[in-house]
A and B are shown apart, each in its own frame.
Chain A
Amino acid sequence: MSTSGINASPQDTSEVHDQRVESPARDLVRATETRPDGRRLTRYRRVPGES
């Protein structure tokens, strides 16, 4: 069975901005940044009142 295969890659990341995730997602925003190596990272946060 497969495994994650994750390792740390300390990199600076690009500037990011919150985007609201459309309903029916509940009060959710995402902010996506791209690392210098091209990998994307998305942070999801609950922000009451966003939906």
Chain B
Amino acid sequence: MTERRFDPTTGEWVTFATHRQNRTYKPAAFCPLCPTQPGEEPTEIPYPDFEVVTFDNLFPSFSPYAPVPEVASTDLYPTAPAVGRCEVVVYSDDHTATFSDLEPDRVRMLVDVWADRTAILGADPDISYVMPFENKGETVGTTLSHPHGQIYGYPEVPPRPRRELQASEAYHSRVGRCVYCDVVRRELEDGQRVVAAVEGWVAWVPFAARFPYEVRVAPTSHRPALTDLDGSERDGLASILSTVARVYDRLWRFSLPYVMAFHQRPTDGDPGWGPISHLHVEFCPPNRAPDRLKYLAGSELAGGAFVTDVAPENAAAELRSARMALR
């Protein structure tokens, strides 16, 4: 079954992709993301070496060829084809590397690739939102350790970015400015939650962080999407993303798991998104301590109300110390 169902009690679509139950799960000896070597079993990537490769996921949640839903749509229970795209982005042909290990030029190349895929997928009239992301580490569900991320092209704006855009629209209506522009300015002026800053970019622990060591990265100028960045802004983004990843690994001296995701302007062509969309990257590590995880339990899952165990100002200070230790 591959289809979308609308929950009238919550107002949210849920995607069913039951074929994903059979996807590759932590293969012991064979990596499908490694280069294909002559005479050896072919992988997903038919080259003996490569820099960056993207491809359509063999087990997609969304597909350009999505079938008609098995369950007929009704007024109470709407259904829809799971139309969209799910791509894999392989960062390197080095199986043992992580994002934080990549050379600066490779990270800059990834920024170019994320922007290029945003333009290509966003031009598809069936796609309304393009979200590059990375699940790093088994703790957040990664089934393959080879360094890679994913890009989802959604048929509508997903719930979390939609709520952000609604909040931004309300703020813009009230004060006439982009909320992220004001947040970035405030964080730079205040400084106590800033983790790192480079020309045109800042990384900080959010004032109301949901995860103890959550970090957000945004441009200091209003840029709605990856495709709006010029060359020097892409340089800055590559630099600060690499810094955040290395800071996380330095924090407790192990490779810290995280979910990293880009939020940007929807691609449905509505010009109204521009003033209220401010490109940003969210890093959400699941750890609240080296040996303890922040679980989404009763309040978070059932109530949607996050309770966080570490003060954002303290987390930022720890992360700044880790950043200083990089030098």
Q: List A residues at the B interface (Cβ < 8 Å).
A: 1-10, 13, 21, 23-26, 28, 30, 38-46
Contacts and interface: CB of A to CB of B under 8 A. Distances in A.
Given A4-B142, A8-B42, 11 more contacts: A2-B141, A3-B142, A4-B23, A4-B150, A8-B30, A24-B229, A25-B112, A40-B55, A41-B45, A41-B53, A46-B105
B135 A5 contact: no
Nearest to A30: B116
Contact of B56 (A8, A21, A39, A44): A39
Given A1-B259, A39-B56, A25 B116 contact: yes
Contacts of B51: 43-46
Given A41-B53, A43-B47, A9 B116 contact: no
B59 interface: yes
A21 B116 contact: yes
A46 B109 CA distance: 8
Contact of B144 (A4, A24, A42): A4
A43 B36 CA distance: 14
Interface string B272-315: 00000000000000000000000000000000000000000000
9 contacts: A2-B150, A3-B23, A5-B59, A6-B32, A7-B24, A8-B42, A24-B234, A28-B113, A43-B51
Contacts of A41: 44-46, 53-56
B193 interface: no
B196 interface: no
Contacts of A30: 116
A42 B54 contact: yes
A6 B144 contact: yes
A6 B23 contact: yes
B141 A7 contact: no
A3 B143 CA distance: 6
Interface string B202-217: 0000000000000000
B321 interface: no
A6 B44 contact: yes
A14 B138 CA distance: 35
Contacts of B234: 24, 26
B109 A28 contact: yes
Interface in B31-56: 32-33, 41-47, 50-56
Contacts of B61: 2
B190 interface: no
Nearest to B259: A1
A26 B65 contact: no
A7 B59 contact: yes
B135 A25 contact: no
Contact of B108 (A23, A26, A42): A26
B58 A9 contact: yes
B198 interface: no
A7 B109 CA distance: 25
Contacts of A45: 50-51
Nearest to A45: B51
A6 B105 contact: no
B116 A2 contact: no
Contacts of B43: 8
- Residue of B23, B51, B112, B229 with highest tally of chain A CB at under 10 A: B112
Interface in B1-48: 20, 23-24, 30, 32-33, 41-47
